[in-house]
Structure formats: structure tokens, C-alpha cells
């Protein structure tokens, strides 16, 4: 029996869900399909070799912070670094959500609601209209109370953009009563960038990560860009020494020479468009417009298609448990070869499904 001491809010949340599966082609977590270029890996390993494992790292990853400030053209005092942007989402709920409100849409990245519920904030999740943000309903919510508003541009798991104009309207509506968080995890794949808005609007904050375009999901490094006064408060929520010397060593090397990122982003964009066209041509599958490094697909029977793809060595992510996304799967954009294999597997799966359907539709048909 669970101890009585455990808060009911914690008991009530289901936890972050990710079923582990082994597969040759892994397209389930919107990761980069490529590890670091070999010369950068070598440099990172050399840096690790020189690290003192017995000493505490920088208190707040100062050396990483300096490099991010330089890369982003942002005042160093406005940068907060953590072991993944996930950690900062928790920090942002501590900063402006507990005892106040957390506003977001549903479905969206699950961690916003998860942290809001764990930390006992007053959570409002406004349903998307199809895959579009419910602009008027969000504007109405922003008129009441104070708290943190999480918006994701490009959105996840739908992959479409909110766009600069609507983001600005929402940030303006939040004013100084709401901390407007713009999660730009997939921004590089959309060519979107809300730094300029965040510079002008002190109530806004841009959340970024090295997990996607930089291909460092395994290293765990995320950061926020904000006004220095907001960053100073957010920094208090990040535990001291929580970015390890190992994380920092790799991030420092990459941030010193991030030139590999652009070509990879361009390839992901080209591949996204190519794969979207190929899948859109398949009968029974609908591809949602995406500006991210993944595609949302409506396949009808998501459980069956997921299993059939997995049996062919292709792992994607089910989304059919989410409101409004019944029948949907999400696939990351992989290498060109991985994408070809995924499209072929999906084609076989849809052909089989249609064959099975026609067999059941025609009484007495042989299979
Ligand atoms: C919208 C969004 N924000 C944040 C994250 C988390 O990124 P990190 O790896 O930096 O914790 C993800 C990860 O998938 C994401 O989809």
C-alpha cells in the first residue's frame, strides 16, 4: 500500500509515459538521427578526459551560459541553463505557477501539465481547435488571474506553427500578470525565432534545447532566454551544481563549434517535405502540415499500424490516447534511408489493411 504521506496530487498523476521498444529504425522521440560529427565527439571526449571528477562543476553552468549568451546574442545575465528544458519547465511552474495559474492547450507537450499537477498549480488546458490554437479562448483565460502560460511554437505533437503574430498577441495579452513561455524546442526546423519579441516584452521567455537540432538528447542540456530580472528568479529554482561536469564538457565543445547544425536542419526540412509528400500519396493516411522535425499522421487504426510498423523494424509514437488525435501516430524525421524504410513499411501496412478490409467487405472472399 502506498504510504499515507504521499501527496494525493502526486498519486493522481500518471507520470510521463514512454513504452520502451527495441527497433532498427527509431523515430519515436523527435531526436536527431545523427550523433555528433566524429571530430567533435573526439574533442568532447578529450575535454572529459581533462575534467576533474572529484570536483564540483560550475555552480550554474557558467561556462556553458557564457557560450550560449554569445551564440544567441543575449545578455549572459538573461540566460538560465539546466539539464534539459524539462527541468526549466518544472522551474517555471515553481516560479510562477504554484499558488497561481498554469495555462496551456491540450494536447501539447505533456510535461507542462504533469509539472503543474505535481506541484499543485491551478491548471487550465484549453482544447485545440483541430490542430490550431484556440486563440480567443486563450485570450479570454489570460484576462483572469496570474501565472505561467506555456505555448509551443512549433507546436507538439501536431507540428504546426502558432506563428509570430498570434504569439505576440498572446504575450501582449499576458502583459506583466503572466509569464509567457515560448517553448522553441523545434524552432530551428521552422526557421522561427521569438528572441526579438522576448527582448521587447519583459513578461516573455524563450525556452530552448540542445536535444533536437543540436542532436544532444542524451547529454541533457536546455536553457531559457529572458530578461535578466526574470532569469535571476528562475535561476533560484534550478538546484545548485545540477548541470554536471560531463554535460558541460560536451556542451562547451559543441557550442564552440556549432557549424554542423545548419546542414542537418536543412536536411531534416528537405526530408520532412519529401516524406510528407510520399505519405500523403498513400490511401488511408492523412499527413498534418508540419514545420518541425516530425510528422503527425492520421492512420485510422493507430494500434494496428503501430504494431505493424514495429514488426517491420520501425518505431514511431502512438498519439491516439490524446484528445482529438484518435487514430494518430507521430514519426520523427530520420536519415534519408530510415525515412525510405519507414515510408515503405507504412505503404506495406496500408496495402495490407486495404486488402484485409476488402476481404471482409466481400462475403466469401478468400484471403
Ligand atoms: C515541446 C518540447 N519542449 C521541451 C522538450 C524537452 O526537451 P529537453 O530534452 O531539453 O528536456 C521536448 C522534448 O521532446 C518538447 O517536445
The CATH number covering residue 280 comes to: 3.90.1150.10
CA-based max dimension of the chain: 75
Chain-wide mean pLDDT for the chain? 95
226 located within any domain: yes
Residues contacting 127, CB < 8 A, separation 6+:
105, 106, 134, 323, 324
Residue 102 lies in a domain: yes
Asked if residue 196 is part of any domain, the answer here is yes
What per-residue confidence (pLDDT) applies to 262?
A: 98
Question: Do 53 and 131 lie in a common domain?
Answer: yes
Domain boundary among 226, 256, 286: 256
Same domain membership, residue 276 and residue 176: no
> Are 249 and 140 contained in the same domain?
yes
Mutate-to-test residue for ligand 1 from 31, 133, 159, 185, highest number of ligand atoms within 8 A of CB: 185
Residues having CB within 6 Å of any atom of ligand 1: 30, 84-86, 109, 152, 156, 183, 185, 209, 211, 217, 222
Q: Look at residues 231, 185, 187 and name the one whose alpha carbon lies nearest to residue 205.
A: 231
pLDDT of 364: 45
**Number of helices followed by number of strands (H, E) in the chain:** 14, 13
In angstroms, rounded to a whole number, what is the distance separating the alpha carbons of residues 190 and 159?
9
Among 227, 256, 285, residue at a domain's last position: 256
User: Does residue 365 sit within a domain?
Assistant: no
**Looking at the structure, do residues 141 and 206 belong to the same domain, yes or no?**
yes
In ligand 1, the atom with minimum distance to the C-alpha of 108 is 1
Residues 266 and 252 in one domain: no
Cell numbers standing for residue 201: 516584452
Pick out the chain residues at pLDDT < 50. Answer: 364-367
Domain that holds residue 142: 49-256
Q: Identify whether residues 83 and 182 lie together within a single domain.
A: yes
Please say which residue of 256, 291, 318 terminates a domain.
256
What CATH number does the domain containing 165 carry? 3.40.640.10
CB atoms under 10 Å from CB of 363, counted, come to 6
Q: What is the pTM of this model?
A: 0.95
d(CA 166, CA 94): 26
Please say whether the beta carbons of 194 and 182 come within 8 A: yes
Residue 145 and residue 208 in one domain:
yes
Q: What is the per-residue pLDDT for 366? A: 40
Distance, CA 283 to ligand 1 centroid (Å)? 32
Amino acid at each position: 500500500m502506498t504510504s499515507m504521506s504521499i501527496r494525493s496530487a502526486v498519486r493522481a498523476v500518471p507520470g510521463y509515459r514512454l513504452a520502451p521498444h527495441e527497433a532498427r529504425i527509431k523515430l519515436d522521440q523527435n531526436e536527431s538521427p545523427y550523433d555528433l560529427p566524429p571530430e567533435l565527439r573526439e574533442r568532447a571526449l578529450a575535454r572529459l578526459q581533462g575534467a576533474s571528477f572529484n570536483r564540483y562543476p560550475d555552480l550554474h553552468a557558467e561556462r556553458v551560459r557564457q557560450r550560449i549568451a554569445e551564440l544567441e546574442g543575449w545578455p549572459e545575465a538573461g540566460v538560465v541553463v539546466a539539464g534539459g528544458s524539462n527541468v526549466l519547465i518544472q522551474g517555471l511552474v515553481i516560479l510562477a505557477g504554484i499558488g497561481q495559474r498554469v495555462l496551456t492547450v491540450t494536447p501539447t507537450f505533456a510535461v507542462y501539465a504533469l509539472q503543474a499537477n505535481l506541484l499543485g498549480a491551478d491548471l487550465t488546458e484549453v482544447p485545440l481547435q483541430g490542430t490550431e490554437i484556440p486563440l480567443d479562448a486563450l485570450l479570454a483565460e489570460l484576462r483572469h488571474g496570474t501565472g505561467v502560460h506555456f505555448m509551443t511554437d512549433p507546436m507538439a505533437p501536431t507540428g504546426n506553427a502558432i506563428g509570430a503574430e498570434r504569439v505576440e498577441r498572446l504575450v501582449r495579452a499576458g502583459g506583466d500578470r503572466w509569464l509567457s513561455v515560448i517553448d522553441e524546442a523545434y524552432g530551428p526546423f521552422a526557421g522561427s525565432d521569438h528572441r526579438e519579441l522576448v527582448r521587447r516584452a519583459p513578461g516573455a521567455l524563450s525556452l530552448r534545447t540542445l536535444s533536437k537540432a543540436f542532436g544532444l538528447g542524451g547529454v541533457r542540456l536546455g536553457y531559457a532566454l529572458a530578461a535578466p530580472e526574470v532569469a535571476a528568479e528562475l535561476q533560484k529554482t534550478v538546484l545548485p551544481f545540477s548541470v554536471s561536469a560531463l554535460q558541460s564538457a560536451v556542451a562547451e565543445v559543441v557550442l564552440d563549434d556549432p557549424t554542423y547544425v545548419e546542414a542537418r536542419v536543412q536536411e531534416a526540412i528537405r526530408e520532412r517535405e519529401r516524406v510528407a509528400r510520399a505519405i500523403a500519396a498513400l490511401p488511408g493516411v492523412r499527413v498534418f502540415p508540419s514545420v518541425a522535425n516530425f510528422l503527425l499522421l492520421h492512420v485510422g487504426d493507430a494500434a494496428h499500424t503501430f504494431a505493424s510498423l514495429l514488426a517491420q523494424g520501425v518505431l514511431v509514437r502512438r498519439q491516439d490516447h490524446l484528445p482529438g488525435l484518435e487514430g494518430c501516430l507521430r514519426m520523427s524525421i530520420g536519415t534519408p534511408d530510415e525515412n525510405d524504410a519507414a515510408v515503405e513499411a507504412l505503404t506495406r501496412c496500408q496495402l495490407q489493411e486495404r486488402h484485409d478490409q476488402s476481404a471482409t467487405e466481400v462475403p466469401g472472399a478468400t484471403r
